[in-house]
Structures are given as C-alpha cells and as structure tokens.
Amino acid sequence: MIQNAAARLVFNLPKFSHTTPLLRSLHWLPVAARIRFKTLMLAYKAKNGPAPSYLKALVTSRTAPRLLRSTSTARLVPPSLREKDPLLIFYKRAVLSVSPQSWLTEGDSVTLSCEVTDSSTDWTYSWYTVVPYRDGLTGINNNRGYSVYVELLSDSSRGSGGNYTLSPAALKHTGVYMCRGERGEPVLHTQYSNPQPLWITGESFPVSLIINPSRTQHFTNDSLSLSCEDQSNSTGWTVRRYTHSEIVLDCSHWGSVTGSTCNISFLSTSYTGVYWCESESGENSNPVNITVHDGDVILESPVHPVTEGHPLTLRCLYHNPNPSNLRADFYKDGSVLQNQTTGEMIIQTVSKSDEGFYHCKHPERGESPKSWLSVRPSGPSGVEAPFSVLMLICSVVTASPYLLVTFILLLICYRAPASYKHPRCSEWICLAKDCKAPHQNTGSGKTLTHTTAQSVSQSLEGQDGAQSTSCDALADFTYGPGSR
C-alpha cells in the first residue's frame, strides 16, 4: 500500500491508477521480492565478494558425500544456532552498567561493568568512548536510529576482564562509554553495548562553562548562550552536548559558534541534555545538566555546585508571570519544604544535607522539572581554603619581628652577670632575688653576705644622702618602684 502510494506520488497520478507499470518503470521490486533479493545478495557477497569477516565466517558451502546433480548448484549449509556459533555470537548484545552512579565528584572511584547474557566465562571485552564524527572512526547505528561514532580507548586492555575502573575519577574522564564482547579464533564480536555516560565534577577544572541566563532550566523558544571561559586563554575549547539521541555533538551541529561561545536562538525540548567544554587535548570542564521545559513553570537553581555555609535562593519562574499570584510550593526529593507567597525560597546557610532534587509547583499553572542541587564542602577541600592559609601566613609574618626581639632580650638577660656594683655605692646590688654578694664593709661596721636592693638601701640609711638616693634609684631600676 505504501509503496503503491509512493509510486503514484512520484508520477503525480490519481489515487486509483494502476501501479504495476509504475513500479517496473522505477525498478521497484515488491516488498517480499526485495527482501528475498537483499538476502541473496548478502549471501553472495559473503561467499564471493567484499563482505565483513564476521559474515564470511557464517557462510559455508555444502559438500555432498557423493557426486549428485545438486553438487553444481552452489548450495550453502544452513547455520545452526549453537552457543558458540558465529551467528548467535553476532546477535548477542553486551550490557554496560555503572557503579555507584553516573554523576561523580572528582576523586571518587567508579566501575563500569560489561557483560554478555551468557553462561560462558571465556569472554574478553573492549572499551570505547563516543565522540563526534571525524575521518577514520567506526560508525554504528544506535537504538534510536542515529549514527554513533566510537573510538577505542587507549587503555582498553585493562578492562578486558569485564570491569573498567577509574580510581580516582578526574574531569578528563567525563564522557559516554560503550563496550562489546569478543571470543573465538578468528575473533567474533557481539554488538556494541548500550551507551553509559559518566559526568565528573570537581574544583580543579581548567575552564568554566558559563551559561546565560545562569540557570539549569529554560522555557522553549528562549535563547541561550554557552561560553567556555578561562582566566588566561579560552581558545581551542568547544561546547559539546549529549542528549536523548545518545550521540555526542559539537556546537556547530546545533548552534552558532563564535570563538569559544555557542549561541542558541530558539530552544526546544530536544535541547535537554548535558553540556560541557572540551579542549583539543581532551581536557573537560564541569558538566551542566540543562532542561528545556514546554510548560509554564521552571525552577531557577544554580548552575554550578554551591559551597557549604553560603546562602542560596531558589525561585519559581513563570512563562507569563502574574505579579499578583506568585505563590509556589517548594519540594526536595518529593517532599514539601516550604509554601511561599513570594515565589522564592531562601536557605540561609547551605549544608551537605541540602543536596538533592528540587522542584516547585504552582497550584494552578503546574510544576517545574526537577533539578539536582550539588553542595561542595568548604575548608581544606573547598574554595575558602586558600584564604585561610593566606591569613595564617600573614599572621606568622606579622608576629615574627616581635618573637625575634623577645628571644634576643631573653638571651641577653640569661647571659647577664648575677650582681652589679654601682660606682657610687659601697654595696653590691643583686640582679637576682637570691644571690651572694662579696663580703664588704658598709662603713657602718656591718658586713653583708646576702643582700637585696632593699637591704642595701636600709644599710645605707643615715649616710650621705646623695649616695643613699643614688643607691635607692638603682634598686628601683633593678626591681621596679616600690621594691624597697
């Protein structure tokens, strides 16, 4: 029916026109005949022509035990579907899974596991990453009908046992992975596995993905700008995305490129996906999950992780806002957090417990999609650590002169003599509270063997006033005023 209608459309003929001469003119075989033709052509190429090796291995010519009339007909042996037959292996599909999760923080460990639903244990595995098209890459068709291009990982052999572990995970490991199993001699492969994305976020990213407007959710038909910004030089960086089509594409395929900036004039729901910046050398920025919603309500949430201890404001935005009715309910992980009449929710001090999926809901206009809020720690592993270290260094540098002067004074005092004789005094004044002074006659018939400033002062009372005053002053200097 469809083929006949297509033939009439080509020749622009009425609905009930006879189609047999039309099909002959177009060299279109009937559907059943075309299926048979394609099957026979594939078998011929597998036996005599340039067919892939895995197809050639499936085709075996039939050998008669004796000379028969059918010997010259070039018949083939029908393949049997035993466990290790090539045809069965080819139709097997590898299954790829991730543990613990696909969104990770830099430094975490993650394991990709590839397996074939088979009781055998003699499988080995190869690992691939999905990349944008370039010459020399292997192209395959995914389940959604799109062409996907894959590249063998340089260290694929370390995952040959079925587990490919990244420990610690780094920003450069962000990407979409696939695997497939192989065994036998000659080697026969299964089909490629399902794609499995890995998204790594961290603090040491060389470039930032700047989104304008700065939020993770957007309305359809809005415009959007994505820029790869570096403090020194952002040239050589490209914005890439991974959407429901399960393929990785550069901005040139879905936006307009200006330097390291990608501009989108009209958003649609097909733009929902994960976006990141990637350099020519394979470095990555933090990935950002962007949602394009065709409803009336979206949630304004931060694009990048929020630091612990900082404030946070979440807002419910409307496609056609009505200032008189901004009421919204805010949810975290499916549970109601707050009911606000202003359309926004404020978290005064963010903590790790605030991490989760958030969305908002208007009683009449519907609810927004969910967005993940990521919280990064402060302190040694957060962005505030450099300031704390700087303050510590400044404190040490400021206090160093005072500590040095104090040390020198203590050293001088430690090495000073234990007693001192003023040239105008006839007695020794001790610089320590407890010391031995030389035996001297004070002039009053008394000999002091253990003296302090106070005893010297008392022993000199009644003698020359000037001399007594000088010795008293010396005692005050030695022990402080009022020590007599």
Distance, CA of 143 to CA of 384 (rounded, Å): 46
pLDDT at 351: 92
Backbone angles phi, psi at 222, to 5 degrees: -75, 165
pLDDT for 416 beyond 70 = no
Which is more confident, 118 or 248?
Answer: 248
Domain ranges of the chain: 1-51, 87-201, 212-294, 295-383, 417-479
pLDDT at 330: 94
CA angle 67, 71, 77 (to 5 degrees): 120
Identify whether the C-beta of residue 342 lies closer than 8 Å to the C-beta of residue 310: no
Neighbours of 182 (CB within 10 A): 16
80 pLDDT band (50/70/90 cuts)? low
Mean pLDDT of the 132-141 span:
85
Q: Are strands 428-430 and 375-376 parallel, antiparallel or unpaired?
A: unpaired
Q: How many CA atoms lie within 13 A of 173 on its CB side?
A: 25
pLDDT at 104: 86
133-142, 202-211, 231-240: which range is least confident on average? 231-240
* CA dihedral (187, 190, 192, 196) positive or negative: negative
pLDDT at 379: 61
68 pLDDT band (50/70/90 cuts)? low
pLDDT for 215 beyond 90 = yes
SS3 356: strand
pLDDT for 264 beyond 50 = yes
Mean pLDDT of the 110-115 span:
94
114 pLDDT band (50/70/90 cuts)? very high
Backbone angles phi, psi at 298, to 5 degrees: -135, 165
Indicate the CATH number of 87-201 among 2.120.10.30, 2.40.50.180, 2.70.70.10, 2.60.40.10: 2.60.40.10
DSSP per residue, 439-474: P-B-SSS-B-SS--HHHHHHHTTTS-HHHHHHHHHH
Distance, CA of 436 to CA of 430 (rounded, Å): 8
The CATH T-level fold of domain 212-294 is Immunoglobulin-like (2.60.40)
Confidence (pTM): 0.61
Identify whether the C-beta of residue 87 lies closer than 8 Å to the C-beta of residue 58: yes
Which residues, other chains included, contact 213 with Cβ-Cβ below 8 Å and sequence gap of 6+? 222, 224
What are 428-475's pLDDT values in tens digits?
445 444 444 444 444 444 444 444 444 444 444 444 444 444 445 444
User: In the structure encoding, which two tokens stand for residue 415, read together?
Assistant: 């090495």
Mean pLDDT of the 202-206 span:
74
Largest CA distance in the chain: 157
Q: Which helix (H) or strand (E) holds 210?
A: strand 208-212
pLDDT at 392: 55
pLDDT for 59 beyond 90 = no
CATH number at 295-383: 2.60.40.10
Range with the largest mean pLDDT of 22-36, 210-224, 338-352: 210-224
**87-201 against 295-383: fold identical:** yes
Which is more confident, 241 or 379?
Answer: 241
Going through 90-145 in order, the beta strands assigned E by DSSP cover 94-99, 103-105, 110-116, 124-131, 138-141
Which is more confident, 470 or 363?
Answer: 363
pLDDT at 201: 85
